[in-house]
Structure 1
Amino acid sequence: MKNNRQKEKQKQSTRELISIDDLTDYSIKTAYGELVYFIIHPTNISVLSESTVSARIYALMTVLKGIAEIEMLCLNSKENFDENKQYLKRRMDAEPNPVIRKLLQMDSTNLDRMQVQMATAREFLIIIRLNKGEVKEQKDKASDVFPYLSRIEKSLKDQGFTARRADNADIKRLLGVYYEQNVTTEKFEDFDGERWVILGE
């Protein structure tokens, strides 16, 4: 029985394994609802005055009160070098040659420097679940969805946030960051090897 379940799991696609039914041009369709993402450009509050920070908090509260279906997500858009650093440490401990040990130490220091530079790389996302509450009725009419999403985007901008709705490419990149901390891939394919397919031949 256990072997059968394991075989069935192996046959599943990546989308099925992470419970995604479909990726549209503007959303992710899952069994728990259709999710639309708005990317919020972060603000460096460390350089703002206390009154300005309070105003930003109040603006966010206003957005949250106005949209019942809102959810929030914060991503670390940076690579994780912990495994690389552990490997280098093991190599240094086992390496008898002092010159090689010094090179390994320099590699480890470089990884530390890169991680510090990317430590503030954050992405803040507002998520709208389209089939919850009042929006469920609007979802039945596709023509009503886009005006509703535009109103949310306008509400964010009216409160002083630099925001935009994530498109298909943004969503694939966000999934790459969320599931594997992949911040280096420029273009995500829908299928492995898609870039090598030449249509019309």
Structure 2
Amino acid sequence: MNKQKKELRQRQSTRQLMGISQVTQHGIRTAEGELVFYLIKPDNLSVLSEDGIRGRVMALTRLLCTMPQVQMLALDSRESFRRNKDWYRLRLEQEELPAIRELLRQDGIHLDDIQAGTASAREFAIVLCPERSGGEPDENHLRQTEKHIRDLGFQVRMADPQDIKRLLAVYYQQDVTTDHFDDYDGERWVKDHG
């Protein structure tokens, strides 16, 4: 990359780098139009019968066939401790003191337990591009779409701006621990102290 392009990229905001011009009430606006997000609460397939699983697959098939303007988004909404575990393993190989080795071993087991406890933490979203289905989205049309998805047997709700920011944080930086996202860096400090 030449120097001029590199300098231009360094001056761009995070949203510009991601191609997002605006976080909207239920999604994001990009150069290609608005994307509206519906959050799906997944079913626990391990407790469903074969017929139950077949029914869920058929419902998803019906959804994708009746709404060709939707896309599915699946995110791994759990933290990865791979680097931490690698560090503990390396440190354990180097450590000579038995007490420290035991503490390092216990820390590694603790990280394994956390990871096992969140192994099924997934987020699913249906992404709708209303412009592809005939125009600007209005709240009534978006609510009708939500009802249609619910009628197919899914637990669904439209995403709000905090949901969108959380999905972007999980997608771009695997950040699953932040509860609230400011629109601007330091925004909450200015509001709290201003």
Letter in 2 for 1:115: Q
State the Cα distance separating 1:198 from its structure 2 match: 3.2
Question: Match of 1:10?
Answer: 10
- The CA deviation string for residues 86-122 of structure 1, in whole angstroms up to 9 with x for no partner, is 1111211222222111111111110011001100001
Question: Match of 1:80?
Answer: 80
The 2-side partners of 1:188 and 1:39 are apart by 18
Question: Match of 1:112?
Answer: 112
Are 1:160 and 2:153 matched, yes or no? yes
Question: Match of 1:22?
Answer: 22
TM-score of the superposition, structure 1-length normalised? 0.91
SS in 1 for 2:127: strand
The 2-side partners of 1:33 and 1:72 are apart by 17
The 2-side partners of 1:105 and 1:174 are apart by 34
The 2-side partners of 1:18 and 1:90 are apart by 36
- In structure 1, the gaps of 5 or more residues are none
TM-score of the superposition, structure 2-length normalised? 0.94
Shift of the 200–77 alpha-carbon distance from structure 1 to 2, 3 Å rule, reads: closer
The 1-side partners of 2:167 and 2:179 are apart by 12
The 1-side partners of 2:52 and 2:36 are apart by 29
Question: Match of 1:171?
Answer: 164
SS in 2 for 1:188: coil
**Aligned residues with identical type, % of pairs:** 43
Question: Match of 2:184?
Answer: 191
State the Cα distance separating 1:199 from its structure 2 match: 7.4
- The CA deviation string for residues 127-182 of structure 1, in whole angstroms up to 9 with x for no partner, is 001222x32xx31xxxx622221121111111111000001011011111111111
Shift of the 87–200 alpha-carbon distance from structure 1 to 2, 3 Å rule, reads: closer
SS in 2 for 1:22: strand
- In structure 2, the gaps of 5 or more residues are none
The 1-side partners of 2:175 and 2:65 are apart by 34
The 2-side partners of 1:200 and 1:51 are apart by 57
Within a 5 Å distance, the mapping from 1:137-156 to structure 2 comes to 138-139=135-136, 145-156=138-149
RMSD of the TM alignment (CA)? 1.6
- The CA deviation string for residues 59-92 of structure 1, in whole angstroms up to 9 with x for no partner, is 1222212212110010111001011111111211
Letter in 2 for 1:31: A
SS in 1 for 2:131: coil
SS in 1 for 2:64: helix
* Number of residue pairs matched by the alignment: 194
- The CA deviation string for residues 17-47 of structure 1, in whole angstroms up to 9 with x for no partner, is 1111111121101112211110010101111
State the Cα distance separating 1:15 from its structure 2 match: 0.7
The 2-side partners of 1:11 and 1:37 are apart by 29
